[in-house]
Structure 1
């Protein structure tokens, strides 16, 4: 099978930091290739250039091409592409006549719910209407649908029904991230890291208060790697007040955004990842990429109990599930982790199993390959 995947963002190998949309397309491509498919990732050159911000164009990794969305139809027809996967509906209006090429709609993220959380946006009502129209139009012309996680299935089916295509083939396709072994824990206090882009739909939870006494007591050190994503329209304060307090603490180290390989190398040296946030409808359905990347690197995660990732952490014992609004509980949990090397080792072992059994690219992409075989 010859498959093209249209990325909504830059991907690893382009010499710059990446984010969830680019990792989604890249992980799918890696998995399908391991399963024997011929895959090309399509990157929108205007977006890549704006992120790159230099006179020369950014590097294009092997297995990827830079192509404007308006040229994709011509490309897939000329190259006899069997299937085109689009992540959400971002570029759908620009797609022309794909010929015999089948269109696969990836419900990567609940975009309407994301946008709904940006309540300070002046044009929110109009933007939501446009997004709903575009999503329905893209689904109406699709040949199959995939969902980034199983918890979103009712949400996905509701959109398929609303768009007049309730019976399209549907598969759950988890994210694909190559496994990476963690580095052995060093002597000293518990080492935690919190990462991710600042997003209106993902506000910090009470963990920012929970870690303060542990930082003061020398039980915990914390590294922060947080930034504003280049494509996100933010109308609230760029750095939440809760995080600002942490940046000023002497036991906290902050980092600039890194290329994906460097980011993974940095994360491998920590004991656990802190990924806690306030609850809202979008977070209920989120396959939280920063937790996925942590688990794929064998790093246990402190996480809320309500996302797409939560059941995986619970099943494998790959971390700790805590309520995001209970600072006292989190402080107690973190204190216990620091004192119980056996529990930390068990959680790390669970994360390593997750990396191989859930998020390894070929494992994650297997349902997509099966769907394509049935469709083609």
Structure 2
């Protein structure tokens, strides 16, 4: 659902007399809240269990979508997006990947993380065209009703996922949150991972939020934006599976760096020319292979470095930085559009920092002896 919110932008801004920067400011608030609460909620889940956090998060998501559907102005939209941020922090990739990593053996962990990551793309593949069809023939609030129904389905899923709490975790690895985070922040590889995760957040949220509006600005059919998001989601199923499989055998920091470099190249090639249905579909297919494959790689790398006992906390720390990038991608893109009337400067900035992130991750994100492709020994837990 989160990846399809940009489809609401044209109708909601017109219906509620908002600007693009108003809407994207609310999306930025979502990402700020998500980033701020991810680490504390991860620490709660590590200490008291994943199930209560995930179930309460699913309920928060239901309430958020109800508020968004009833919104009459900017402040209600901001409240809804803030609650969505809390819901994502409780039910999104950090806790889902923590549950997965605990349930999978170290030998199969990367592959299984890729499988679970791929299923988020199944959602995008299905939801984007269904939502756009609703928006094309009905008031945007019916799209909100659809999202309420989908959020409700998350509650039993969270209950089932929470069964991983029954699995034993090594008592020797229990530690105070402060000491866990302090150890991670003294680790060069983790710091590089967090810094490049900033760029990941910027790249993804910019495309999610602004691609439909960019295509409408260029005179394309509104359905093309939804089709592009659906293709990204569909192809990303293969992208996540491939990333998980490669991460089982090759240095994850190098794979992450290649991903950021490839994203920058694809964005540069697409925005250099006026969009057409054909180039947009090709762009979506290429981005789909590079989209959420970072999730199994980042999650697997954190598990390799520190084990799984405090994994939700440490993934939460990395997501604070990720969400800072998301704020810049969503709100900054809207401000650039409102100022200049186009996205030219936004995509140029995105390409430049994508190249820098890719090089930094490859050169400084791992130990030299891992470059041969040998995997590091998994940490205890």
Q: Normalised by the size of structure 1, how large is the TM-score?
A: 0.28
- Structure having the larger proportion of residues in helix: 2
| Structure ranking higher on relative contact order (CA contacts 8 Å, 6+ apart) | 2
Q: State TM-score, norm by structure 2.
A: 0.28
Higher alpha-carbon Rg: 1
